[in-house]
Each structure stands twice: as C-alpha cells, then as structure tokens.
Amino acid sequence: MQVHVLASGSTGNALFFDFDTTKILVDAGISARRIQQALCGIGTSLEEVDAILVTHEHRDHVSGLPTLTRRYGLPVYTRPGTWENMFCRELIPSACCYELGDSLEIGNVKIEAFSISHDAADPVGFNFYYRNRKYSVATDLGFVTDSVKKAIACSDVLVLESNHDVDMLKKGSYPWSLKRRIMSSRGHLSNTDAGWALARLPRKSKTEVFLAHLSQENNRPDLAKTTVSTILADQGCCLDSEITLRLTYPDRTASLVEDL
C-alpha cells in the first residue's frame, strides 16, 4: 500500500492512494500532465487510476479535472453542492460526474466522507479502510470540530493541514480581508492548531502524519514541523515511536510505502 502526496499547497493539491488493485486520486488541483508525470515517477499512470474524489470546489483542488475526465474518462465523486459551485463543471463530461454520499466502496476499499469547516459549498475529508488499516485526509479546514476529531481518530496514516504560522501571516503582505479569512474557523489550520489537534487526538500505537497544504507565503516546512513537534513533545508524545511527521511540498512528491 502506498500514499503519495503529489502536490500540496495553495498552488495546487493532489494525493494518490495505491491500495494494490485499487488506485484513487484525491483532488486534482494541478495539471493532468503534472499528475501523469508524478505518477510515472512512482511507477504507475493515469490509465490505472480507478476514481477521483474531490474534497471541495476551490481551483487549487479541481483545475485538472476537465482534462483528466475528457482524456482518460475517469469517474469523479464529490458532493452535489460542490458540483453546482465548481467553476469547470461545464467542461467535465456528465458521464464522469458522480454524487458523493457519506460512504462508498471502490474496488477493495471502503470510503467514508465527513464534513469539515471551510468556506466552500459542502467540503469534506475522507477516511479509507483497507486491510484493517485506516487512512485519513483532513485539509482545508479552519477548525477541527468534534465530529472531525471523531472521524480521524485512530488513523494509521493521516494527511492533516498545517497551513500557516500565525505570526508570519499577520506580518505578511496579504490584505487584512484575506488574513481574516485564513484565520477564521472556515479558513485554514495553523501550525499551532495542527499540533494541538494531533496532541488531543485518540491514536493507535503509531501514526504516520503528513503535514499538508503549507502556505508558501506564510509558512516554512521547518517551522511547521518544529511547531507541531514541540507541542506534541510538551504533551508527552514520543515522536517517531508514536507519531512520525512527514512534510509535503507544492512541487515534489512526498511518499509513504507500507508492506502490508
């Protein structure tokens, strides 16, 4: 089983889950060409992908869908409200558009969708269940609600947003209206909030965590990892033995390969 964060950040997002005989993309916010190149780099291709799941309609999560659907005929699952508000909906063949409920099965993988707090029509995170393992995705959320905590509890692998450092954001060049949006409960999760969410989360004995959707303007990879690590250590979490933190990037793949 393999998890590959192909791209993560404000310029585009795409995740790839390889469950052996079932292969799933989560979001397609970069070009089809970039996705194909990234997949070729890990030994697979778009022709092998079974489906695309979309978390919400913002451009950095859907801009690659028109080409992916027209050229490869890939089925896309997302909420009805997301379809209605997607800027590129008319460019996607209707035969590729599927409405996403709270659960579905694709191949040998059970999938659950859960609501998250973000300024989109009906944004969701995902849980994937495969061979008694749980893989979760929770990005683009301004606040970790109790329902999200319950949804991502006891994940074996978790892709969690760690978007910004609050001080960098406040001192940065963004207009105040955008800063306020990012820091709101329907914006993006800060490094500190990500650290506290992980510290308070019911866990299995070992969790692999990808820190995702890092802002290029208001964050740094080393700062995100240090902030989250410090909070976890202060709360008595043994890093590496209990939680392993992995960074993601906008322009290269971050991977985890499991021998199940």
Predicted confidence at residue 73, as pLDDT, reads 97
* Annotated domain spans of the chain: 2-250
In the block, tokens 């299995």 appear at: 204
Three-state SS at 220: coil
Q: What is the pLDDT along the chain (260 residues), one digit of tens a residue?
A: 999 999 999 999 999 999 999 999 999 999 999 999 999 999 999 999 999 999 999 999 999 999 999 999 999 999 999 999 999 999 999 999 999 999 999 999 999 999 999 999 999 999 999 999 999 999 999 999 999 999 999 999 999 999 999 999 999 999 999 999 999 999 999 999 999 999 999 988 899 999 999 999 999 999 999 999 999 999 999 898 899 999 999 999 999 999 87
Give pairs for 82-90: CB < 8 Å, separation 24+. 82/54, 82/56, 82/57, 82/120, 82/121, 82/122, 82/123, 83/57, 84/121, 85/57, 85/120, 85/121, 86/57, 86/62, 87/57, 87/59, 87/62, 88/62, 88/63
Per CATH, the homologous superfamily of domain 2-250 is Ribonuclease Z/Hydroxyacylglutathione hydrolase-like (3.60.15.10)
Residue 197 CB coordination number (10 Å): 23
Quick check: pTM over 0.85? Answer: yes
**Which pLDDT score is estimated for 259?**
82
DSSP state of 164: B
